[in-house]
Amino acid sequence: MKLYSYYRSSSAYRVRIALNHKQISYDYKAVHLLKDGGEQNKDAYTKVNPKAEVPTLVDKNISLSQSVAIFFYLDRAYIEKQLFPKHLPDFEKCLELVEIINSGTQPLQNLSVLKKLKKEFLISEDQKIEWCRYFIDKGLEAFNTKCSNDGPFAMGSNVTAADMFLLPQLYNAKRFELDLTKYENLQRIYDNCKDLDSFSKAHPDVQPDTP
């Protein structure tokens, strides 16, 4: 299995956690998102992923982008240690939390969005930071309200995809110096996940391409 990744990409970070959780080993293929305008934009990579983003997972003859699709694939192809709960309504509730991050938060602070805002809409660095902080905070507030109020993890007693999407977004929130102390549920989930092997080994500080 091959994972195209960038150490600081929150979307790739999710997939690294999932692969570790399932104890699947993989070849790390680094794609530098900043060097020379971004390796993701070069032909060699857009052939792999036409959306010019990481992650991309290649397994046997299957090449998949989009972390949610990758999570679904992993749960169906490698059934041990499920990422999503199996049954109704837990599956849907877990997907709801995942989507708060996946479609409701991360895309608004993605590199290509910020580049466009800066280059064509001429926003300043301060405005860029304010934009990111606003949308990240809005997403995290919703997650904090909708997740479980007790148990160690976002869905209660078991670690799930919801935690695997949350921690990378918290990592980004910290880069933007957001105050997270007001989110008690998020704090609790973070404390319970951060030292689990699957999470700590996926952390941006310890990847093959970490500077």
Ligand X SMILES: N[C@@H](CCC(=O)N[C@@H](CS)C(=O)NCC(=O)O)C(=O)O
The footprint of ligand X (CB under 6 A) covers 9-11, 33, 38, 40, 52-55, 65-67, 102, 110-112
Nearer to ligand X among residue 64 and residue 178 (C-beta): 64
Angle at 156 between CA 162 and CA 185, to 5 degrees: 75
> What is the smallest separation between the CB atom of 31 and ligand X, expressed in angstroms?
8
Q: Which residues of 151-181 are buried (b: 16+ CB within 10 A; e: fewer)?
A: eebbbeeebbbbbbbbbbbbbbbeebebebe
Token pair 């280059």 in the structure block, residue: 119
Nearer to ligand X among residue 170 and residue 188 (C-beta): 170
> What is the smallest separation between the CB atom of 183 and ligand X, expressed in angstroms?
21
Cis peptide before 152 (omega within 30 of 0): no
Nearer to ligand X among residue 108 and residue 129 (C-beta): 108
Nearer to ligand X among residue 9 and residue 82 (C-beta): 9
The residues near 99 (Cβ < 8 Å, ≥ 6 apart) are 68
Nearer to ligand X among residue 117 and residue 156 (C-beta): 117
The residues near 78 (Cβ < 8 Å, ≥ 6 apart) are 22, 24
Nearer to ligand X among residue 73 and residue 192 (C-beta): 73
> What is the smallest separation between the CB atom of 169 and ligand X, expressed in angstroms?
10
Q: How far apart are CA 200 and CA 16, in angstroms?
A: 10
> What is the smallest separation between the CB atom of 23 and ligand X, expressed in angstroms?
22
Query: Nearest Cα to 15, choosing from 168, 210, 182, 194?
Result: 168
Whether the CB-CB separation of 109 and 103 falls below 8 Å is answered with no
Q: How far apart are CA 192 and CA 129, in angstroms?
A: 29
> What is the smallest separation between the CB atom of 110 and ligand X, expressed in angstroms?
4
Say what angle helices 67-77 and 10-21 make with each other, to 10 degrees. 10
> What is the smallest separation between the CB atom of 98 and ligand X, expressed in angstroms?
10
